[in-house]
Amino acid sequence: MDRRRQVSRAVAAATEPAHGRVAGVTSAARSGTILDDPAVAMRLSLAALTLVALAPAACGPAEPAAEVAEAEITSDAIDAAVTESSFLLTVLRAADEPAPDLPAARRGLLRARDQLQAFWGNCATLQVDEPERRVVAQLRRCAGAGELRAVTGTVSYTFAPAAGGVQVQVSARDVKVGPATVELLEATAVLRLASALREVRVSQSHLVYTGGLGRHVDSTLTREAVTTWNVLSNCYAHSGGRSVSATEADGGTSGYTLVVDGYQRCARQCPRAAMDVVVLSSADNTRQLRTSYNGLATARWVLTVNGVRAAAGTWRLDCT
């Protein structure tokens, strides 16, 4: 089945009251974290993790299956942000200790190299450039784990001291990640460790990505993206904001903002939040697609146009 047919909608009648029933159409989605694999977590010590990915992985319902562009764009834009976070978290061990001098910086490079080798295995060729404080990972059909599966391409990491942690710049071009392609990734983040908390703060990011649903998404960070992981509870949270330019079905482009607030998930559990945590808004703010999670294996989305509900549905999450 064409994956673009897997994100579907149920249109509410204009006369239906707000509390009326909207027949939500469920489509399958995938979700996973590297934390869900104890063997991987053991190999990494500081396990990498991913946010929920809304890209469908199995066929949804039969007709009618009218597509909602905002649902597809949300899916691929979130998938892109998750991929960026995942690449950054595979070098989290570089922040095991501050790096104020060359010997400490060298130890950080070697820890990052070792973590990358442990995660990717023999499919990765790793090069360490000490003068440039850089580790380059050449990946060849790497199976990977979590969000980073079936990866081919080159990803480079450049490190520098930062207050209370380590700064890392990640760069990638034309990297295949499963059915998606990271056409361009340039991001700067600070990795910090504080007691049982591990934190990644992305301050700059430009990401060009073609997702599993075929949407070409060009996004730039507009609000600091923060991912925290509690190693004692194996739970993490994420917030951030991006401007998004997405290719429409007719070949044109449309502008959106994507905001994620208070997304939470624990290993082997479904995501949860007390509010709508993913909001995609059109540039003129007339159209909004809001996604909410309640700890169950489904995420609900509602599309509003000029403040009036126009469509609703659910994504089924593979998280239990």
Strand partners, 186: 171, 206
pLDDT tier, 66 (very low <50, low <70, confident <90, very high otherwise):
very low
Please give the model's pTM, rounded to 2 decimal places.
0.78
Q: What is the number of other CB atoms lying within 10 angstroms of the CB of residue 255?
A: 13
Q: What share of the chain has pLDDT > 90, as a percent?
A: 41
Q: What was the pLDDT predicted at 315?
A: 76
Q: Would you say 153 and 139 are in contact if contact means Cβ atoms under 8 Å apart?
A: yes
Confirm if 102 and 168 have CB atoms less than 8 A apart: no
| pLDDT for position 35 | 35
CB contact at 8 A, 150 and 142: yes
CB 5 within 8 A of CB 27: no
CA nearest to 154, candidates 125, 119, 134, 117: 125
Q: Residues 282-294: pLDDT tens digits? A: 999 999 999 888 8
Query: Tell me, what's the pLDDT at 99?
Result: 66
The residues facing 209 across adjacent strands are 182, 217
Compute the average pLDDT of residues 82-103: 82
Q: Is the pLDDT of residue 257 over 50?
A: yes
**pLDDT at position 141 over 80:** yes
**Nearest C-alpha neighbor of 217 from the set 179, 186, 176, 182:** 182
Residue closest to 75 by CA, chosen among 299, 307, 320? 299
Tokens of 172: 């990638």
- Give the contacts of 276 (CB within 8 A, at least 6 positions apart): 290, 291, 292
Q: By the 8 A CB rule, do 119 and 43 touch?
A: yes
d(Cα 44, Cα 125) in Å, to the nearest integer?
17
pLDDT in the model for residue 38: 29
Task: With a cut of 80, say whether residue 19 has pLDDT above it.
Answer: no
First to last CA, the chain: 24
Q: How far apart are CA 207 and CA 298, in angstroms?
A: 28
Decide which of 247 and 319 is more confident.
Answer: 247
Question: Nearest Cα to 70, choosing from 221, 213, 273, 238?
Answer: 213
Q: How far is CA 169 from CA 41, 191, 202, 278, in A?
A: 24, 11, 10, 26
Does residue 240 sit in helix, strand or coil? strand
Strands 308-316 and 25-28: parallel
Q: Angle at the Cα of 120 (from 119 to 122), degrees rounded to 5?
A: 125
Q: What share of the chain is helix, strand, coil (3-state, %, to 5)?
A: 20, 50, 30
- The whole-number pLDDT of residue 60 equals 24
What per-residue confidence (pLDDT) applies to 104? Answer: 77
* pLDDT, tens only, 153-176: 999 999 988 888 899 999 999 999
| Cβ atoms < 10 Å from Cβ of 114 | 15
Residue 225 has pLDDT above 80, yes or no: yes
Q: How many CB atoms are closer than 10 A to CB 105?
A: 19
Q: Give the CA count within 13 Å in the CB-facing half-sphere of 298.
A: 9
Q: How confident is the model at residue 74 (pLDDT cuts 50, 70, 90)?
A: confident
